[in-house]
Structure 1
């Protein structure tokens, strides 16, 4: 009997906390039928979240949208990712115990929106800092720390993240093998990428 009860508890836990279900709501209650957000992801300041459809947000992420967070169509946010739109760590060091009671402008406090462009991928254990703008088609490799502007189609890695490649190199070779997908690709990317000789 105890084994049956434990099995039921494990099944219930998985259903409640790990099951991905299609269908979310965007701003003004608009349906996002192809968007999935894991129940273990924490969204703080949800009113500041501007979410498009076809988005996947995996397990155990922290998304802070208090200063504005725009996640465009097709974005994939994997697992254990932190996206923050404010930071008080400098202010707390400067003000010490007075931080909680300080009136007026808080010195050192950072508050800025974050934008993630269409069909970008944010790898596990990455951090996207306040004020960052990630272009469309970007790949942020695992364990990266993004600060500032990331151009369209860049592959970035490291802490701080630096450009290490361009996704269009690989995309061109895939599209050469699957030309029937060209219309789908250009619908969001604009142009088809061109394969470089000697690669692939």
Structure 2
């Protein structure tokens, strides 16, 4: 069996398993064949362009999400994508208005067409009903609040909210309080964050 056919078979088998049981189970395999034993993807999540999805382990992707990976989508370790989230790496909404019926016959790049990658850094939280647009890079440890519309660069450890999303805080303030309360967690935190929040340093 060719690698391509095996890939299609495995995707169909996983989709059928999810559809029959409609529950999230541990264990996925990336489009590149990497085993991700701690990653969970809900059966109701739709992933388009799966071959362009770079998926790390310890990822949770909840119910009723739409992930468009055609333009390149990277999801870092420990990312949590809640429910009803849309991530898009291309959009033809301007092109269709400009070209009308001529859009289908367009040769080459269409005027106004947007396509670009999305990167979500490790241990980010993406709140329900969020939209993440093409050409977006979200740094590590970011919290995207519910209903946020995110585009462009989001700095590490930011809390973002709104349409369009703006930085409204820094997760390290809350992290420092928890690390002071549970100091034995510092090594786990440093493993991905690279350093402790200032207020939690010994």
Alpha-carbon distance in 2 for matches of 1:69, 1:110: 15
Q: 1:71 and 1:109 mapped to 2: Cα distance?
A: 24
> What residue number does 2:184 align with?
180
Q: How much does 1:190 deviate?
A: 0.6
Is the contact made by 1:84 and 1:130 (CA closer than 8 Å) also made in structure 2?
yes
CA contact (8 A) 1:153 1:168 kept: yes
Structure 2: any 5+ residue segments left out of the alignment?
Answer: 1-17
Residue from 22, 28, 37 that aligns with 2:32: 28
Aligned match of 1:150 = 154
RMSD: 1.5
- Pairwise mapping of residues 22-101 of structure 1 onto structure 2 (< 5 A)? 22-101=26-105
Q: Deviations over 1:66-86 (max 9, x none)?
A: 010000000000000000000
Deviation string, structure 1 residues 68-107 (Cα, Å, up to 9, x no partner)? 0000000000000000000000000000000011112210
TM-score under structure 1 length normalisation: 0.89
| 2:171 aligned partner | 167
> After the TM superposition, which segments of 4 or more aligned residues of structure 1 sit over 2 Å from their partners?
14-18
SS in 2 for 1:80: coil
Distance, in Å, in 2 between the alignment partners of 1:102 and 1:125 is 33
* Correspondent of 1:110 among 114, 118, 132: 114
| 1:131-172 deviation digits (Å, cap 9, x = unpaired) | 000000000000000010000000000000000000000000
Q: Which has the larger radius of gyration?
A: 1
Query: 2:137 corresponds to which residue?
Result: 133
> May I ask how many residue pairs the two structures share in their alignment?
184
